[in-house]
Amino acid sequence: MEKTQLEQTGMALLTLFIIGIIIFLAVLVGSSFIDSVDLLSDDSTATLLPFSTSGLTFADCSASPTGVITALALVNGSGAITLTSGNYTTAGCVVTATATSEFNNTLVNATYTYSHKDSTLIDTINGTTSGIADFVDWIPIIVIMFAVIIVIGLIALFRRSANGMI
């Protein structure tokens, strides 16, 4: 292997190393972007929903994987009685009647506010991170190919020196 070939191989390995660092930084920064996405807040209403201990999921809120109910007003189906918070519990986008609620297994109307992160932005960040991860899977194969090329070059170099060609 000539000096220029060794320099080119060294440059190729340095390039692979720099690409690896760039990919690592891109994944690191991309994953931290998700945490910094601002919460959005939306209002919604729903009428005549079945209220029970099985739980009631609000469609608008659950459309976002990060949706959480932040404010809730429930009234019975006729709109005459407001349910107090002792009649239900909330978790994410689900409202569940307590076992002792007199409104269990009745219809209710709901007005609620929910917070969520922009799902389009999160999907974009996840898609980018996934694409980078797919490329990263190829790096060991590329490194092994370069190692094989270096070994073959060294074998050729030693053969030449053994035959007195250098």
Rounded CA-CA distance 138/51 in Å is: 52
Using an 8 Å Cβ cutoff, are 58 and 114 in contact? Answer: yes
The pair of structure tokens assigned to 9 is 């191989």
pLDDT at 23: 76
Q: Which residue has the higher pLDDT, 33 or 65?
A: 65
Mean pLDDT of 124-132: 77
DSSP per-residue letters across 133-159: HHHHTTHHHHHHHHHHHHHHHHHHHHH
Q: Is residue 1's pLDDT more than 60?
A: no
pTM comes to: 0.56
Query: What digits encode the pLDDT tens for the residues 42-75?
Result: 999 999 899 999 999 999 999 888 899 999 999 9
Domain-by-domain residue ranges, the chain?
3-36+121-161, 39-117
